[in-house]
Chains A and B, each alone.
Chain A
């Protein structure tokens, strides 16, 4: 069964009513890691994070230590925190911002010290009004406490943190679109090259962009050492991770689990976790890592919750959101709704994504509502192929950013796992699930 003995690295205060306040934070060891870090050299702090082998928790899973080491030397550099969590069924960063914002702030200050940047921005998703207020309060209190601003804790190190409200656009969560948004522009992802914001980022200056959960791990790593973190998990997937579980489960929610040592089945069925499916319905499919990830059939429930492990099975751990579809859920409708999401959230820059998403959405809607033709299934796949040639995994793309090749994933998954449902829709003139 599930292995639940790992420490709560980022969720230790989530259960507390006042875990978000400075006073509670201080009585639970808060800002001690920062004091410790300021007593170390920046390089030594960076080494601990590197030793932790902390993979980015935003979706791409790029090692944070390596990202930091790529930051180009320049008199003006920035740290940008990505709190624009918008991947469907992902709600772990919101939890951290609402329940333990000081942990995030502390992680930011430590990281800024390690990176020697003097300005950081926290981009908070606009729909998270409470999260925004909690983070702003934490930043205000941290300034008052001396943990932010000039000469932090007497160390001589100074840092300003600006909390930047987003305004509702999924694509701003893309690293480069986030920077565009922060520059006051439309959230159009930037074309590559340049490949890394660490070289050319905000205002063209070298910039590290890290996810909220990623940085929330930093205080623990400094307190306990990178090796202690790396001892958890297995292979490249070290430490713990937050998994947001939703869909046909009894106990949806966010669970912090040690990486790799648990499986999808553990997460869904363990009584301390998902507690099984609603009404004990059989599982039709699991979407293992957000809307952009190919679906798993019930045969893959025993795949471990680890980055490489999921990739080996043709999908991705992504943002750590796990959505469970039961046999009573319509896969056509699920694919249609996810496609509609991409249609609404496409930035509109690249032709295949802008036009393709809308076209696919209209075909799927037609099938779902009874206007489907048998040839629409091949049409769907061919239009998908024009967005992500070859329909392989990891996908090839004809667009600037990964949103394009994400569009085909739910469609191709639904057709390959549940083609009979599509045929039934065509045959019966619409959805049979009511």
Chain B
């Protein structure tokens, strides 16, 4: 029994087909599973292991290395406040402290009704608008406590177009499969499959 719904399963198989080796699809498939479930469930990881020809322990091991994958439920909106150097100089720590007070949760926690999860982030690369705040990997450019509060208020009451719920990383999907001649792809896969086991032995 698949955990991924038919549409997601279909997309998952399309994603696997883009890579010379199925394991490469691990990160995109974890994103896909989060898109379906809002976080990375154990059942999804079992299915991803099957799709990527790895073990569930390996999928979990890989996923847990990356900050964007959540193995426990998170809010509809994952709010990240950067406190790295450029934001630190611009009051990032103070904004984060404000966010904790404002949302009533500590860093890493989710609000009781499940709308917001607050995170302290490393540099998000929007240093000209410091301190930098992201919601679901989207820059919201709210650098002051007041702006932060109005954003939260809006997210509580509204369903904004520009910020999809957590898990949907890209609203744009790939429109085509691989286009280079199939025989080229096939010979590439055959070569890599032949090399696969010896490679596995070394790394």
Direct contact between A and B judged by beta carbons closer than 8 A? yes
Binding site for B on A (CB under 8 A): 75-76, 85-91, 94, 118-119, 125-130, 132-133, 136-137, 139-140, 143-144, 148-150, 158-160, 162-170, 181-187, 190, 203-205, 244, 246-248, 252-254, 287, 291, 321, 323, 325-326, 329, 333-334, 337-338, 341, 344-345, 347
Establish whether residues B174 and A163, one from each chain, have CB atoms under 8 Å apart when the complex forms.
Answer: yes
Establish whether residues B84 and A89, one from each chain, have CB atoms under 8 Å apart when the complex forms.
Answer: yes
Stretch at the interface among B105-113, B119-127, B153-161: B119-127
Rounded to whole Å, the gap between the CB of A89 and the closest CB of chain B is 4
Whole-angstrom CA separation of A262 from B128 in the bound complex: 21
Q: In the complex, which of the residues A163, A203, A345 has the most CB atoms of chain B within 10 Å of its own CB atom? A: A203
Residues on A with C-beta less than 8 A from B176 are 140, 143, 149
Binding site for A on B (CB under 8 A): 18-28, 30-31, 52, 54, 61-63, 65-69, 80, 83-86, 88-89, 121-128, 130, 134, 136-139, 169-176, 178-181, 184, 187-188, 191-192, 195, 199, 203
Consensus secondary structure, chain A interface: mixed
10 contacts between A and B (CB under 8 A): A129-B170, A140-B174, A140-B175, A148-B179, A160-B180, A167-B31, A169-B67, A183-B24, A184-B25, A244-B127
The one of A91, A162, A181, A325 in contact with B19, judged by C-beta atoms closer than 8 angstroms, is A162
With both beta carbons as reference points, the residue of chain B lying nearest to A410 in the complex is identified as: B85
Whole-angstrom CA separation of A347 from B62 in the bound complex: 12
Establish whether residues B171 and A291, one from each chain, have CB atoms under 8 Å apart when the complex forms.
Answer: no
Residues on B with C-beta less than 8 A from A185 are 23, 26, 62
Establish whether residues A323 and B85, one from each chain, have CB atoms under 8 Å apart when the complex forms.
Answer: yes
Whole-angstrom CA separation of A41 from B191 in the bound complex: 27
Contacts A184-B26, A186-B62 given; indicate if A204 touches B195 (C-beta within 8 A).
Answer: yes
With both beta carbons as reference points, the residue of chain A lying nearest to B176 in the complex is identified as: A143
Establish whether residues A119 and B191, one from each chain, have CB atoms under 8 Å apart when the complex forms.
Answer: no
Rounded to whole Å, the gap between the CB of A244 and the closest CB of chain B is 7
Residues on A with C-beta less than 8 A from B22 are 184
Establish whether residues B130 and A76, one from each chain, have CB atoms under 8 Å apart when the complex forms.
Answer: no
The one of B26, B138, B169, B191 in contact with A75, judged by C-beta atoms closer than 8 angstroms, is B191
Whole-angstrom CA separation of A166 from B126 in the bound complex: 17
Establish whether residues B192 and A203, one from each chain, have CB atoms under 8 Å apart when the complex forms.
Answer: yes
With both beta carbons as reference points, the residue of chain A lying nearest to B24 in the complex is identified as: A184
Establish whether residues B170 and A165, one from each chain, have CB atoms under 8 Å apart when the complex forms.
Answer: yes
Contacts A86-B125, A170-B122, A182-B24 given; indicate if A130 touches B138 (C-beta within 8 A).
Answer: yes
The one of A88, A186, A326, A338 in contact with B61, judged by C-beta atoms closer than 8 angstroms, is A186
- Can you list the 8 inter-chain pairs with the closest CB atoms, starting with the nearest? A168-B67, A184-B26, A167-B66, A149-B179, A184-B23, A246-B127, A91-B125, A129-B137
With both beta carbons as reference points, the residue of chain A lying nearest to B164 in the complex is identified as: A129
Establish whether residues A150 and B170, one from each chain, have CB atoms under 8 Å apart when the complex forms.
Answer: no
Whole-angstrom CA separation of A247 from B128 in the bound complex: 8
With both beta carbons as reference points, the residue of chain A lying nearest to B89 in the complex is identified as: A247
Establish whether residues A136 and B25, one from each chain, have CB atoms under 8 Å apart when the complex forms.
Answer: no
Q: In the complex, which of the residues B61, B170, B199 has the most CB atoms of chain A within 10 Å of its own CB atom? A: B170
Residues on B with C-beta less than 8 A from A127 are 68, 80, 121, 124-125, 134, 137
Whole-angstrom CA separation of A338 from B178 in the bound complex: 42
Establish whether residues B127 and A89, one from each chain, have CB atoms under 8 Å apart when the complex forms.
Answer: yes
Establish whether residues A181 and B192, one from each chain, have CB atoms under 8 Å apart when the complex forms.
Answer: no
Rounded to whole Å, the gap between the CB of A433 and the closest CB of chain B is 11
Establish whether residues A150 and B123, one from each chain, have CB atoms under 8 Å apart when the complex forms.
Answer: no
Residues on B with C-beta less than 8 A from A130 are 138-139
Whole-angstrom CA separation of A292 from B95 in the bound complex: 25
Contacts A190-B203, A203-B21, A334-B88 given; indicate if A165 touches B28 (C-beta within 8 A).
Answer: yes
Whole-angstrom CA separation of A347 from B173 in the bound complex: 30
With both beta carbons as reference points, the residue of chain B lying nearest to A141 in the complex is identified as: B175
Rounded to whole Å, the gap between the CB of A358 and the closest CB of chain B is 15
Establish whether residues B174 and A136, one from each chain, have CB atoms under 8 Å apart when the complex forms.
Answer: yes
Contacts A129-B137, A158-B181 given; indicate if A91 touches B62 (C-beta within 8 A).
Answer: no
Rounded to whole Å, the gap between the CB of B76 and the closest CB of chain A is 15
Rounded to whole Å, the gap between the CB of B97 and the closest CB of chain A is 14
Whole-angstrom CA separation of A140 from B192 in the bound complex: 27
Residues on A with C-beta less than 8 A from B67 are 167-169
The one of A76, A128, A139, A344 in contact with B192, judged by C-beta atoms closer than 8 angstroms, is A76
Residues on B with C-beta less than 8 A from A133 are 170-172
Whole-angstrom CA separation of A385 from B142 in the bound complex: 40
Establish whether residues A126 and B66, one from each chain, have CB atoms under 8 Å apart when the complex forms.
Answer: yes
Establish whether residues A128 and B128, one from each chain, have CB atoms under 8 Å apart when the complex forms.
Answer: no
Establish whether residues A143 and B175, one from each chain, have CB atoms under 8 Å apart when the complex forms.
Answer: yes
The one of B18, B27, B139 in contact with A166, judged by C-beta atoms closer than 8 angstroms, is B27
Residues on A with C-beta less than 8 A from B195 are 203-204
Beyond A132-B172, A149-B179, list 7 extra A-B contacts (CB 8 Å): A86-B123, A136-B174, A158-B180, A167-B68, A184-B26, A323-B85, A326-B89
Establish whether residues A169 and B65, one from each chain, have CB atoms under 8 Å apart when the complex forms.
Answer: yes
With both beta carbons as reference points, the residue of chain A lying nearest to B139 in the complex is identified as: A130
Establish whether residues B18 and A247, one from each chain, have CB atoms under 8 Å apart when the complex forms.
Answer: no
Whole-angstrom CA separation of A158 from B188 in the bound complex: 14
Whole-angstrom CA separation of A128 from B68 in the bound complex: 11
With both beta carbons as reference points, the residue of chain B lying nearest to A180 in the complex is identified as: B203
Establish whether residues B122 and A183, one from each chain, have CB atoms under 8 Å apart when the complex forms.
Answer: no
Residues on A with C-beta less than 8 A from B23 are 183-185
Residues on B with C-beta less than 8 A from A140 are 172, 174-176
Residues on B with C-beta less than 8 A from A76 are 20, 188, 191-192
Rounded to whole Å, the gap between the CB of A432 and the closest CB of chain B is 16
